[in-house]
Chains A and B, each alone.
Chain A
Amino acid sequence: MTHAAELPAWAAWCVALLLLLGAGITLIGSLGMLRLDGFYQRAHAPTLGTTLGTAFICGASMLCFSLLASRPLLHEVLILGFVTITTPVTLMLLVRAALFRDTAEGHIDDIVRRAKQTPGDEELR
């Protein structure tokens, strides 16, 4: 890391903080892959990494390279925009595929019934 010394002190602290925050949020999200139960709960886990995790790490990278080159380099905005646009598509397709498979195998009923349940038919279950 020879270039680390070229960064001003405040920038090094900022890059370090952004990196740790981003990596930590991504780690928490991926821990959710282990700790949450069932596919539909786990499908929420990667969105932590694709929102704030990506935003912080892209911010750290932008800050670092902009200062090293001493001009604003915003290439990471491409990654951030791309990830924001594509995550809804992938997760929507995956959840729909999972719903389709569960319906075909017949064990979706309790999932949907719990969601559709109105306060009146609580005792029916």
Chain B
Amino acid sequence: MTRLLPFPLISLCLLAMWLWLSQSLSLGPILLGSLFALMGGWLLRLLQSDADRVRNPSAIIQLAGLVLIDVIRSNIAVGSIILGGQRNNITSGFVDIPLDLRSRQGLAVLACIITSTPGTLWVNFTRETGVLQLHVLDLVDESEWVERIKGRYERRLLEIFE
């Protein structure tokens, strides 16, 4: 069972998504979708993923809401920098942030969050030292960004993935 279906929940989600996208419940799409769901599970096992060990669903919802608000807010902020006249006054630069997060899935999600909020870019992560290098468009106070990444996102990602 575990060899055939290493990640039952993910496989089930894959099958449901396949059926939804193909908009039918006949035999053909179910067979093809099951095949893809099985193969998805095997692929994840090949990648030695620990994706199934996600806990704390309330933190996921909390984080999703937070990210949605931040995406909208930073879109407005970057838009006003581009359209506004003060664009030559902004200083942008690199910020080094020491992270406690080591889970690969958690880091991948953090990369998506940081890039999806305009104004911050993920540049580099050194696994040995755990230092994340960011590029920030409107860099006023470096410690504020360290506080923001660690307090807003990393704390919740640690709850979810570790």
- A interface vs B, CB < 8 Å? 25, 28-29, 31-32, 35-37, 40-41, 43-45, 47-48, 50-52, 71, 73-75, 78, 84-85, 87-88, 91-92, 95-96, 99, 111-112, 114-116
> Are B137 and A44 in contact, with the CB atoms below 8 A?
yes
> Are B118 and A44 in contact, with the CB atoms below 8 A?
yes
Report the contact-size class of chain B (Cβ under 8 Å from the partner): 35 or more
- B interface vs A, CB < 8 Å? 20-21, 23, 71-72, 75, 78-79, 82-83, 87-88, 90-96, 111-112, 114-124, 135, 137, 139
Measured CA separation A32–B79 after assembly (Å): 8
> Are B93 and A44 in contact, with the CB atoms below 8 A?
no
> Are B118 and A47 in contact, with the CB atoms below 8 A?
yes
Beyond the given A40-B92, A91-B121, please list 17 additional residue pairs across the A-B interface where CB-CB is below 8 A.
Answer: A28-B79, A35-B87, A36-B82, A37-B87, A40-B135, A43-B135, A44-B119, A45-B78, A48-B75, A48-B78, A51-B75, A52-B72, A74-B21, A92-B115, A111-B94, A115-B93, A115-B94
Q: List 15 A-B contacts (CB under 8 A).
A: A31-B83, A36-B82, A40-B135, A44-B92, A44-B135, A73-B23, A75-B21, A78-B21, A84-B112, A88-B112, A88-B115, A96-B124, A111-B93, A111-B94, A112-B94
